[in-house]
């Protein structure tokens, strides 16, 4: 043996002795020896520092640590570079999702593995697909420490895609999709609708941009719909154990993912929930007064089945039980209602049905409803209504209705109030029996933000106020003018679902007409009656004119609906027989999608 050959042999033995010999598992599960720690593609290079990988469509070799296995529920697992092999670029991710589809592979958390795969971009997610020749190079490698998320982000967290993360003491902002998709929206504090807290236009758009960076979804580690078990809270969601908007949540370990246009975390450890926003058993008022007026959107209370409310009699029984439980617990003397079926005022109508059911829960059986001198209010399928306790108040004169026929007009002679868009407004003068004082309650339900008003030249102006803002604003002006004209020198409460948030034009128009928003007047900040897309705000308002203002003691919202998961409502779709029982209770919670508003008044002088 020559000296050169001896030196070559020693060199080769030295090289091979420093490399790891491991068991390879190929697609046929045949084991053979393979060398680890060779040259491979860094995950950070595959991810790149932009939204799309520079290696799309190419086959790469990767060697990294298994950090999470979701092959049964997400058809893949997660890898992350070991701490020693991470680069110094904060704009590149060190983690990645490996898509195994319907051919799962055998892996274990903490294993350092090596394999070949194809780089893909799937709906905005960089991933490795069709992994082959998976080799376990080392067992029980310490997992990289989770990145502690801090919200709001300064930019979209693309640089954390696929990486281990943790969250601490974040606020639940949305539970709408909890039942169907197992997802919740988290943020730093409660996020408010931009036009609830900022002026429409540039200020609202800036607030929207801040809100967009102040959120992250927490998923349930599955892409299955309508899961049998929902792990938030840890004991499982039920009608008695809800997760509510406003609760706090922490998670020691999860992985960052991107799907359906949202960054989301799939949990590896169990989430810890703090009940920071427990269910309120009743409206919380600082003073009760001697008269309480409430406003409640009852979300399509229809006695005609399969129209807008319940699909069948069984659903209606569930809906009615929750609605009546909420109305009874309000403990109000007058309630303005929205979204009652507009099918008249006979005993066969939805309004009479509701009052009859309410009287069954009331020992005095003194609930009545205001009966206008018309068969039907307007032409919409829903109407506003007023119910009252006849032992506390009595109607004075006939109810008044504002619609297109008696609306004030603009400079071109067109009515400001269009009842083809807005529901007609209903007002009733009452006598408060105890004090002998007269007052007026007016109930309105204006056009929704999601409606189309393009036929009126009233599109979405992209200033935060949605569709039909001009239609609502003109109606608000007409309401103020009508009430001031129809009920001169009377004390007036104006309530209802105005489909406008606190800083929007309709509220400004009512203010200019002499109607003061009571939450603002009493300096009650962070008011909300509705949650939309993980942001809270007031759609339901209580206003008073000067003659009524000194009688107002307090105003509150009873947060029984907007903070609750929609799966707890009366509907029966997408639920198994077990879930129909598990998620339902004949209580006030999630009886509607709006929260009731309650006003405490002292008639005949202050307490």
pLDDT surpasses 90 at 38: no
pLDDT surpasses 70 at 210: yes
The three-point CA angle 444-447-448 to 5° equals: 115
Strand partners, 338: 297
- Domain-located, residue 358: yes
Would you tell me how many other CB atoms lie within 10 Å of the CB of residue 590? 26
Model confidence over 276-287: pLDDT tens digits? 999 999 999 999
- Domain-located, residue 182: yes
Provide the pLDDT for residue 195: 98
Provide the pLDDT for residue 34: 53
- Domain-located, residue 281: no
Residue 258 and residue 318 in one domain: no
Whether residue 539 contacts residue 152, with contact meaning beta carbons closer than 8 Å, is answered with: no
pLDDT surpasses 60 at 360: yes
Q: Give the residue-averaged pLDDT of 227-242.
A: 95
Residue 470 and residue 564 in one domain: yes
Model confidence over 103-150: pLDDT tens digits? 999 999 999 999 999 999 999 999 999 999 999 999 999 999 999 999
Provide the pLDDT for residue 88: 86
The pLDDT > 70 percentage for the chain reads 94
Whether residue 563 contacts residue 246, with contact meaning beta carbons closer than 8 Å, is answered with: yes
Residue 412 and residue 555 in one domain: yes
Provide the pLDDT for residue 84: 82
Q: Which has the closest alpha carbon to 264: 168, 167, 129, 131?
A: 167
Residue 56 and residue 77 in one domain: yes
Q: To 10 degrees, what angle do helices 469-486 and 505-512 make?
A: 20
Final residue of a structural domain among 274, 306, 332: 274
Model confidence over 61-99: pLDDT tens digits? 999 999 999 999 999 999 999 888 888 899 999 999 999
d(CA 145, CA 82): 10
The pLDDT > 90 percentage for the chain reads 91
Model confidence over 400-443: pLDDT tens digits? 999 999 999 999 999 999 999 999 999 999 999 999 999 999 99
Residue spans of beta strands (DSSP E) within 280-437: 291-301, 334-341, 367-369, 382-389, 393-402, 423-432
Provide the pLDDT for residue 607: 47
Residue 105 and residue 220 in one domain: no
Provide the pLDDT for residue 606: 53
d(CA 507, CA 109): 56
Residue 369 and residue 395 in one domain: yes
Residue 400 and residue 465 in one domain: yes
pLDDT surpasses 80 at 9: no
The DSSP result for 510-572, as a single string, is: HHHTT-EEHHHHTT--S--SEEETTEEE--EEEEE-HHHHTTEEEEEE--SSTTS-GGGSS--
Final residue of a structural domain among 138, 156, 190: 138
Provide the pLDDT for residue 83: 83
Provide the pLDDT for residue 85: 84
Model confidence over 567-604: pLDDT tens digits? 999 999 989 999 999 999 999 999 999 999 999 999 99
- Domain-located, residue 284: no
d(CA 483, CA 478): 8
Give the CATH number for residue 90.
2.40.50.140
User: Coil, strand or helix: which one is 399?
Assistant: strand
Model confidence over 159-183: pLDDT tens digits? 999 999 999 999 999 999 999 999 9
- Domain-located, residue 104: yes
Give the CATH number for residue 457.
3.60.10.10
Model confidence over 474-491: pLDDT tens digits? 999 999 999 999 999 999
- Domain-located, residue 606: no
How confident is residue 50, by pLDDT bands cut at 50, 70 and 90? confident
Whether residue 495 contacts residue 295, with contact meaning beta carbons closer than 8 Å, is answered with: yes
If one counts the domains in the chain, the total is: 3
Q: What is the mean pLDDT of the chain?
A: 93
Whether residue 421 contacts residue 437, with contact meaning beta carbons closer than 8 Å, is answered with: no
pLDDT surpasses 80 at 27: no
Residue 449 and residue 585 in one domain: yes
Residue 111 and residue 247 in one domain: no
Residue 329 and residue 245 in one domain: no
- Domain-located, residue 173: yes
pLDDT surpasses 80 at 198: yes
d(CA 576, CA 345): 37
User: Could you tell me the pTM of the whole model?
Assistant: 0.92
Domain hosting 110: range is 3-138
Final residue of a structural domain among 274, 302, 323: 274
Provide the pLDDT for residue 37: 83
Residue 507 and residue 389 in one domain: yes
Q: Is the dihedral of CA 214, 448, 247, 566 positive or negative?
A: negative
User: Coil, strand or helix: which one is 12?
Assistant: helix
Residue 255 and residue 343 in one domain: no
The DSSP result for 187-229, as a single string, is: ESS--B-HHHHS-TTHHHHHHHHHHHHS-EEE--S---SS-S-
- Domain-located, residue 192: yes
């Amino acid at each position: 043996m020559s000296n050169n050959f001896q030196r070559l042999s020693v060199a080769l033995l030295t090289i091979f002795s420093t490399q790891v010999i491991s068991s390879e598992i190929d697609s046929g599960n045949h084991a053979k020896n393979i060398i680890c720690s060779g040259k491979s593609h860094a995950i950070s290079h595959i991810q790149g520092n932009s939204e799309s990988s520079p290696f799309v469509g190419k086959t790469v070799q990767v060697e990294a640590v298994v950090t999470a296995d979701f092959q049964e529920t997400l058809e893949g697992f997660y890898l992350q570079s070991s701490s020693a092999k991470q680069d110094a670029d904060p704009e590149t991710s060190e983690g990645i999702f490996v898509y195994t589809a319907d051919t799962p592979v055998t892996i274990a958390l903490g294993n350092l593995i090596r394999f070949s795969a194809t780089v893909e971009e799937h709906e905005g997610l960089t991933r490795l697909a069709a992994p082959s020749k998976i080799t376990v190079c080392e067992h029980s490698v310490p997992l990289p420490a989770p990145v502690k998320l801090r919200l709001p982000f300064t930019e979209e967290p693309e640089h954390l895609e696929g990486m281990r993360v943790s969250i601490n003491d974040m606020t639940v902002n949305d539970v709408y999709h909890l039942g169907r998709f197992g997802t919740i929206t988290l943020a730093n504090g409660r996020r408010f609708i931009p036009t609830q807290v900022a002026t429409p236009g540039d200020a609202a758009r800036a607030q929207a941009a801040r809100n967009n960076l102040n959120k992250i979804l927490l998923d349930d580690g599955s892409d299955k719909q309508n899961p049998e078990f929902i792990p938030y809270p840890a004991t499982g969601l039920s009608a008695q154990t809800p997760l509510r908007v406003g609760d706090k949540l922490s998670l020691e370990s999860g992985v960052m993912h991107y799907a359906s246009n949202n960054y989301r975390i799939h949990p590896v450890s169990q989430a810890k929930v703090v009940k920071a926003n427990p269910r309120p058993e009743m409206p919380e008022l600082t003073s009760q007064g001697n008269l309480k007026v409430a406003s409640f959107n009852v979300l399509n209370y229809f006695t005609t089945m399969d129209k807008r409310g319940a699909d069948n009699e069984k659903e209606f029984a569930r809906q009615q039980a929750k609605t009546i439980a909420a109305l009874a617990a309000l403990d109000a003397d007058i309630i303005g209602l929205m979204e009652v079926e507009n099918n008249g005022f006979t005993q066969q109508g939805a309004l009479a049905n509701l009052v009859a059911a309410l009287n069954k829960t009331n020992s005095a059986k003194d609930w009545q409803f205001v009966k206008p001198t018309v068969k039907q209010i307007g032409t919409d399928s829903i109407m506003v209504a007023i119910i009252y306790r006849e032992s506390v108040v009595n109607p004075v004169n006939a109810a008044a209705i504002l619609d297109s026929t008696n609306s004030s007009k603009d400079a071109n002679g067109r009515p400001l109030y269009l009842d083809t868009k807005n529901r007609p407004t209903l007002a009733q003068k009452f006598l408060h029996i105890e004090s002998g004082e007269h007052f007026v309650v007016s109930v309105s339900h204006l056009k929704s933000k999601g409606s189309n008003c393009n036929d009126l030249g009233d599109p979405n102006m992209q200033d935060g106020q949605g569709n039909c803002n001009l239609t609502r604003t003109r109606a608000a002006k007409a309401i103020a003018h009508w009430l001031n004209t129809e009920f001169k020198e009377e004390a007036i409460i104006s309530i209802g679902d105005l489909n406008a948030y606190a800083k929007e034009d309709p509220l400004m128009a009512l203010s200019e007409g002499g109607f003061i928003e009571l939450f603002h007047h009493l300096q009650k900040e962070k008011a909300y009656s509705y949650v939309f897309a993980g942001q809270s705000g007031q759609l339901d308002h209580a206003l008073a004119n000067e003659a009524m203002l000194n009688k107002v003691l307090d105003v509150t919202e009873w947060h029984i609906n907007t903070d609750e998961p929609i799966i707890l409502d009366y509907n029966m779709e997408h639920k198994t027989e077990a879930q129909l029982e598990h998620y339902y209770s004949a209580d006030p919670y999630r009886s509607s999608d709006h929260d009731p508003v309650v006003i405490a008044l002292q008639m005949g002088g202050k307490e």
